[in-house]
Copies of this chain bind each other. A is one copy, B any other.
Amino acid sequence: MDEIRRVKRELVHRGKIVNFYEDYMALPNGNTAVWDFIEHKGAAAVVPVTEEGKILMVRQYRNALERYTLEIPAGAVNDVEEPKEKCAARELEEETGYKAGKLEWLMNVNTTVAFCNEFIGIYVARDLIPARQHLDEDEFLNVEEHGLDELLSMIYDGKITDAKTSAALLAYRVKYR
């Protein structure tokens, strides 16, 4: 394959959690094009497994979808330098009120490769230790405990649609069962 080459990147808008750029591209066929690029600082997510093998999930209103979703706990890094594992441990505790006795890397996902660099490190948390839930000021969610088979059914029923959540639950299922 010939190379696609970026000639220039121009900031169009700095948002609260993502920034919008226009990328000026030189294409292998000699043409030029302007492509969208959304910059995200990265995130981590956790599959928290209880002693009974249940999964802790969070239910929250998602403005982008205009509905409630059921997701694994997750959140953005504090800054691009923050290790994903540290972010995962922090988000688990903040959102669910449990610390992870053991945190094991499961997979990495890029959520939207066509236009965004968002990267999520996903971990499995076990040996959960009760701690204190402390949500961000603009974060409102409920914690729920579900069986893995029930959650997998919800993926195939179209009730769970969050990509990181489906990828993580299925990856956990294939790896550990």
Task: Please list the residues of chain A having a beta carbon within 8 angstroms of any beta carbon in chain B.
Answer: 1-4, 6, 12-13, 15-18, 20, 22-23, 25, 27-29, 31, 33-38, 61-65, 69, 71, 76, 107-120, 137-138, 140-142, 152, 155-156, 158, 161-164, 166-167, 170-171, 173-175
Contacts and interface: CB of A to CB of B under 8 A. Distances in A.
Nearest to A110: B161
A120 B163 CA distance: 9
A108 to B, nearest CB: 5
A113 B18 contact: no
A35 B63 contact: yes
B27 A140 contact: yes
Q: Is the interface of A mostly helix, strand, loop or mixed?
A: mixed
A13 B62 CA distance: 21
A163 B116 contact: no
Nearest to A172: B170
Nearest to A141: B1
B118 A158 contact: no
A108 B161 contact: yes
A115 B20 CA distance: 13
A84 to B, nearest CB: 12
Contact of A174 (B31, B117, B161, B174): B174
A104 B64 CA distance: 28
A158 B38 contact: no
A117 B167 contact: no
B111 A163 contact: yes
